[in-house]
Chain A
Amino acid sequence: MKCLLSTLILTPWVGTLLLALTPRLSPKVSRSVALLFSLSTLGFAALAWSGFDPAAPGYQFVEQHAWIKLLNVSYHLGLDGMSLALVALTGLIAPTALLASWKLERDPRLFNLLFLFLQGAALGVFLALNFFPWFICWELSLVPAFFLIKLWGGPGASRAAYQFVVYTIGGSAFMLLAFAALFAATGTFDFVELAALARDGGLASAIPAPALGAIFLGVLLGLAVKVPLFPFHTWLPSAYSEAPTGASMFLTGIMSKMGVYGFLRILWPLFPAQLHAAAPVLLALALAGVVLGAFAAMAQTDLKRMVAYSSINHVSYCLLALFAVAGASSLNADASTAALSGALLQMFNHGLSASALFFCVGILENRSGGKRGLLDFGGVRTAAPVFAGFCGVALFSSLGLPGLNGFVGEFLVFRGVFGLAPWTAAIGCLGLFATAFFLLTFWQRVFHGPQSPAVAAGFRDLSTQEIVTLVPTVTLMFVLGVYPQLLVSLFNPLVTAWAVHLP
């Protein structure tokens, strides 16, 4: 248990190395090996969960070793309720995404290798508590993602991959600069130390306010592109829609969470005053993401783009909650707790439902020979009732139907935001409406009505392996919808404390 977190991060990378060193592995074996290494995260996450005490303050399973003495860089890992939830989500989505790519024909070894690499990097982002290792993982995740999109993606994949990487790196560059400045002023890269400095005013006294504002903007830019926050989102629809199914699942399920996680772990604790000052603007941007994201999805005829836009809408809920809390002018602990719990739940729930939706769209694309237009399908429910059932659950989960997971998070977000910024919540309801509208349009066009030629030509129902892929996520959708305590218990003490004073 002593270096559990390192093991957690390194195991997928060991898998990468293993696959890299055995070029002649048969596709079947390489898939199984990759799946096994990918599943290890779930196992270790369960181990961490069993040893985790939600009520204890601070980080747990901490590992801290000096690394680069000259720069005061340390190898600092730690875990709290939020990271644990996200690690568990990674452990769930990554194997699912690998299973979803099981039938991949082109060089499965390389695909799996890159995928495991990506998984390890994502875990590193969720666990690192020092900017240095954190940023390494943050940037490392781009490399495999780039190749996954470019090499296995659709017709416009090259362009989408370039756009994705350049855009994200562009944002990260500002963040790197900002942290370099922060280091120059404080002499530390450690998030915990920096947060403590920010709390006791050391940061504000070490750096003049305009400079601190600029640093804040730099970090904000890096994170905003990753999430993405409106209007930095235009890379997302093309990247998500051109990526292969498995990569889309991981991108939307995990990588968009990296940004939100950064907001909660870095931006808010380090720059509370700046965030408070910028909150009205940011709140408006998040609101634009909620409403315009949903309405833009309504205008899409490409199913993958539609689901991608719904992702923008859903992730914006998390940011809406955070900005409402950070910008609150008076203390409303109930509302803040609800908003933050909602944001964390929404992160997890969106990971589940969006990745399931991408998988379903991937199946549609796969079965019809690459078609993914809204009007290419019709009557799928008669041809594939089981598939329709699973996809329906995912759609309604994404729509926020009570009884499924999406509702609890969205309700709590709205409950909190309403208490802190009522008009924002009221306008945000338009997003809920538009989401229902386009998801039902999706459902009606694709599954109902007479069968389209593409479907009538022989649309197979789900294979056993595909059912196995979907069952865990769909089961969790029900479980978390009925019994959210399972997840909430992890981070409730954390959130309760945040609502009163900053993390």
Chain B
Amino acid sequence: MTLPVQLLWLIPALPLLVAGIGALTRHRGVALAAIFAMAGSFALSCLALAGALQDPSVHATYNFAWFDLGHGALRLGFLLDPLTALMTTMVTFVGTLIFIFSLGYMKEDKNFSRFFCFLSLFAAAMLGLLVANSLLLLFVCWELVGLASYLLIGFWFHKPSAAAAAKKAFITTRIGDLGFLLGLLWLADSTGSLLFYDGGQGVLEATALASLSGQTLACGLALSTAIGLLIFCGAVGKSGQFPLHVWLPDAMEGPTPVSALIHAATMVAAGVFLVARVYPLMSADALLAAVPVHALTVVAFIGAITALMGALIACAQNDIKRILAFSTVSQLGYMMLALGVGSSTAAIFHLLTHAFFKALLFLGAGSVIHAAHHEQDIRQLGGLRTKMKVTFATFAIGMMALSGVPFLFSGFWSKEAILHAAHEWDVSHLPLYAGLCAVVLTAFYMTRLVAETFFGKPRSHGAEHAHENSAVMTAPLVILAVCAVLLGFLGTPYWPWLQKTLDPHYEATHGGLGLMLLSIGLVGAGLGLGWALYGRKLRTTAAARDPLDTAAPAVMAVLADRLGFDELYAATVGRLNSATAAFADFLDRYVIGGLVTFLAQLGIFSGGVNRQVDEANLNGGFDAVSESVRGSGLFYSRKQTGETHGYLRVVAVAFVLLALVLALGGVR
């Protein structure tokens, strides 16, 4: 039985339904509904995977009109291929486990049901992102996972630090998203479509790609390079790549299951998925020789810088979740590196293994934090090895997978695949060297983390009284630990099943044994160094100085300060932002507002002048005339005494005068 692509929408729809219900009710049953919905989605994903594996080279699509636009319509669609199916299976599986873990972790929170509502919203958006066959639908879901991330980082919103971290995450990723949006607009404008695969008309199909890579811009870049790099901006923001990585460590303000699901296993990997999804577009310029830069070269270098930088900073952090967060940044850098050097299969392989072991590590950290009464500072912890046996065992497996301990653990195989691909890359070997340095550092900081947290003596009240959590929290750890071991065997060089599924043209390359031995040696060096510094002489008090801090205080201070990126951004972007705002306000209030006021004052002034002229000159003349009329009226009215005799006398005198005039004048 398989899931036809027409029904693929069911996978995101199940969690979405629960999210909708959860928005309307605060009943605790929402949690169970969410878990069942995720489990249902997992089952559906397995069916979809079974279908996709039947012929891995087929991109099954189902496109539909969203709304009318002009003579046609804006179309969206769903896509089912091995990449989608593997990703949905991973997300739903890890998601289900983390949901179950959250049952225990969030048990006492008074917004318990709201938490599961948001988690379900996240899951729905994430799954929608994975099944999208349209860059627009992908962008929609992309923003929605950003929203869910925002809501969940700020879940304990009464803490100002959590609220600020949520906002920082949203704004920072949005900067990248604007690039993504522009790339999307450009793509839509130059191809007229946003569907990935559309029977030859899609943007990832030969016709469109040929036209995109055939056009050259004024700056010399191929059109496809420019669009690809803009879309990559979105991935940089979402996947915490340099230089937009600053939000990811702060995002650890959210509840730990959120960190595990969103900021380790799934959402942050969405950037990697995005680049893998539009890989044909990103690599369309690969054969062009005359361009200044290829899109994938930029991706490789950004990934390499991020991998090295994240690992460096992780060495100097003391918060258990922040160490893991910078480790995530570093590992995402690895994935980008792999994409950049041309091996999308290695990137996805590492994405999948990383999702399991990093979710495991975060849940392990959550288990520790829960048990130790929300103590997150590794200097305050210690001695949990005996108190929390299951957590310790599973955490150790996760740590070894992340460090790349050879042969047994999945991280080793996926990391090898990446390093191998970087070695094969003929543009530059710098990313390879960065990756190799990061191997040592990863093993080192993970050893430090485990030694400080689980060995030695408890150094705080919380650690003193810690005890193992209930089965609802440990069972997911065990399952994830098993996966963190087994998953690696899907992609070994001896049986590259995963690579062949993702890329039917994949050919296993042999050789590179020397590189493998080198990296095993580096892992050993990192582990040994870590144990030498932190394991042999265990920390006794929380206040004791870190051995590295004693050795190189200046370097450690800079690293602990995360290389000063936050301060740099506050001083540049932040200040520019406020300055622009102040300028806009000033412009409005004083320049334009002033001009309007000036015009108004001008109007009032001319009115005043007009009034003066009127009162002084014009009115005076009229007043004099009317005054004289009034005066003569008064004079005559005084003559009208009302005495009839007076009148008669006047009449008589007038009569006599008339008679005299007639008589003497002799008027004929």
| Chain A interface main SS type | helix
Determine how close the nearest CB of chain A comes to the CB of B520; give it in whole angstroms: 46
A168 contacts chain B at the CB level, 8 A cutoff = no
How would residues 326 to 359 of chain B score, 1 for a CB under 8 Å from any chain A CB and 0 otherwise? Answer: 0000000000000000000000000000000000
A444 contacts chain B at the CB level, 8 A cutoff = yes
A465 contacts chain B at the CB level, 8 A cutoff = no
Interface stretch of the complex, out of A3-11, A257-265, A334-342:
A334-342
B470 contacts chain A at the CB level, 8 A cutoff = no
**B143 close to A448 (CB less than 8 A):** no
Interface stretch of the complex, out of B185-193, B283-291, B622-630, B650-658:
B185-193
Residues of A within 8 A of B (CB): 166-167, 231, 233-235, 237, 291-293, 295-296, 298-300, 333-335, 337-338, 341, 379, 381-382, 389, 396, 401-403, 407-408, 411-412, 414-415, 418-419, 422, 425-426, 429, 432-434, 436-437, 440-441, 444, 447-450, 483-485, 488-489, 492, 495-496, 499
B587 contacts chain A at the CB level, 8 A cutoff = yes
Interface centre among A415, A441, A489 (most CB of B within 10 A): A415
B163 contacts chain A at the CB level, 8 A cutoff = yes
Chain A residues whose CB sits within 8 angstroms of the CB of B577 once the complex forms: 298, 434, 437
Kindly identify which residue among B66, B163, B178, B582 contacts A429, using a CB–CB cutoff of 8 Å.
Answer: B178
**B170 close to A295 (CB less than 8 A):** no
* Closest partner residue, chain A, to B111 (CB atom): A385
Chain A residues whose CB sits within 8 angstroms of the CB of B181 once the complex forms: 414, 429, 432
* Closest partner residue, chain A, to B26 (CB atom): A385
**Bound-complex Cα distance A397 to B587 (A):** 28
Identify which of residues 143-162 in chain B touch chain A, using a CB-to-CB cut-off of 8 Å: 143-144, 147, 154, 157-160, 162
**A296 close to B584 (CB less than 8 A):** yes
**A448 close to B158 (CB less than 8 A):** yes
Interface centre among B144, B159, B160 (most CB of A within 10 A): B160
Identify which of residues 58-98 in chain B touch chain A, using a CB-to-CB cut-off of 8 Å: 66-71
**B163 close to A488 (CB less than 8 A):** no
User: Known pairs A337-B69, A403-B140. 10 more at Cβ < 8 A?
Assistant: A233-B592, A292-B587, A296-B585, A300-B585, A334-B192, A379-B158, A418-B185, A429-B178, A444-B154, A450-B160
**B167 close to A425 (CB less than 8 A):** no
Complex A-B: 12 CB contacts under 8 Å = A166-B600, A296-B588, A299-B582, A341-B69, A379-B158, A401-B147, A433-B171, A436-B174, A441-B167, A450-B158, A488-B68, A496-B70
Chain B residues whose CB sits within 8 angstroms of the CB of A436 once the complex forms: 170-171, 174
* Closest partner residue, chain B, to A295 (CB atom): B584
**B68 close to A335 (CB less than 8 A):** no
How would residues 494 to 526 of chain B score, 1 for a CB under 8 Å from any chain A CB and 0 otherwise? Answer: 000000000000000000000000000000000
Kindly identify which residue among B67, B143, B582, B588 contacts A488, using a CB–CB cutoff of 8 Å.
Answer: B67
**A167 close to B596 (CB less than 8 A):** yes
**Bound-complex Cα distance A231 to B596 (A):** 10
Determine how close the nearest CB of chain B comes to the CB of A312; give it in whole angstroms: 9
B542 contacts chain A at the CB level, 8 A cutoff = no
**Bound-complex Cα distance A117 to B581 (A):** 38
Q: A382-B158, A485-B66 are in contact. Are A299 and B71 (CB under 8 A)?
A: no
**Bound-complex Cα distance A215 to B166 (A):** 52
B182 contacts chain A at the CB level, 8 A cutoff = yes
Chain A residues whose CB sits within 8 angstroms of the CB of B596 once the complex forms: 167, 234-235
Chain B residues whose CB sits within 8 angstroms of the CB of A166 once the complex forms: 600
Q: A292-B588, A429-B178 are in contact. Are A402 and B163 (CB under 8 A)?
A: no
**B178 close to A299 (CB less than 8 A):** no
* Closest partner residue, chain A, to B593 (CB atom): A234
Identify which of residues 559-583 in chain B touch chain A, using a CB-to-CB cut-off of 8 Å: 577-578, 580-583
Chain A residues whose CB sits within 8 angstroms of the CB of B68 once the complex forms: 485, 488-489, 492
**A449 close to B182 (CB less than 8 A):** no
Kindly identify which residue among A379, A401, A429, A492 contacts B143, using a CB–CB cutoff of 8 Å.
Answer: A401
**A449 close to B185 (CB less than 8 A):** no
**A414 close to B157 (CB less than 8 A):** no
* Closest partner residue, chain A, to B179 (CB atom): A429
**A444 close to B163 (CB less than 8 A):** yes
Q: A337-B69, A488-B68 are in contact. Are A292 and B163 (CB under 8 A)?
A: no
Chain A residues whose CB sits within 8 angstroms of the CB of B588 once the complex forms: 233-234, 237, 292, 296
Interface centre among B69, B167, B170, B592 (most CB of A within 10 A): B69
Kindly identify which residue among A419, A437, A448 contacts B154, using a CB–CB cutoff of 8 Å.
Answer: A448
Chain A residues whose CB sits within 8 angstroms of the CB of B483 once the complex forms: none
Chain A residues whose CB sits within 8 angstroms of the CB of B580 once the complex forms: 295, 434
* Closest partner residue, chain A, to B175 (CB atom): A433
Kindly identify which residue among A335, A337, A403, A449 contacts B157, using a CB–CB cutoff of 8 Å.
Answer: A449
Determine how close the nearest CB of chain A comes to the CB of B455; give it in whole angstroms: 38
**A429 close to B69 (CB less than 8 A):** no
Q: A234-B592, A299-B582 are in contact. Are A432 and B154 (CB under 8 A)?
A: no
Top 9 A-B residue pairs of the complex, sorted by shortest distance between their CB atoms: A448-B163, A299-B585, A402-B140, A337-B70, A295-B584, A298-B581, A296-B584, A485-B67, A418-B185
**A484 close to B171 (CB less than 8 A):** no
B139 contacts chain A at the CB level, 8 A cutoff = yes
Chain B residues whose CB sits within 8 angstroms of the CB of A485 once the complex forms: 66-68
B164 contacts chain A at the CB level, 8 A cutoff = yes
Chain A residues whose CB sits within 8 angstroms of the CB of B175 once the complex forms: 433
**Bound-complex Cα distance A484 to B159 (A):** 38
Chain B residues whose CB sits within 8 angstroms of the CB of A337 once the complex forms: 69-70
* Closest partner residue, chain A, to B150 (CB atom): A440
**Bound-complex Cα distance A408 to B70 (A):** 15
**B70 close to A334 (CB less than 8 A):** yes
**B157 close to A381 (CB less than 8 A):** yes
**Bound-complex Cα distance A382 to B162 (A):** 15
* Closest partner residue, chain A, to B594 (CB atom): A234
**Bound-complex Cα distance A167 to B582 (A):** 25
Q: A338-B69, A403-B144, A418-B186 are in contact. Are A448 and B583 (CB under 8 A)?
A: no
* Closest partner residue, chain B, to A447 (CB atom): B157
* Closest partner residue, chain A, to B192 (CB atom): A334
**A415 close to B188 (CB less than 8 A):** yes
Q: A448-B163, A449-B163 are in contact. Are A433 and B178 (CB under 8 A)?
A: yes
**B160 close to A448 (CB less than 8 A):** yes
**B158 close to A335 (CB less than 8 A):** no
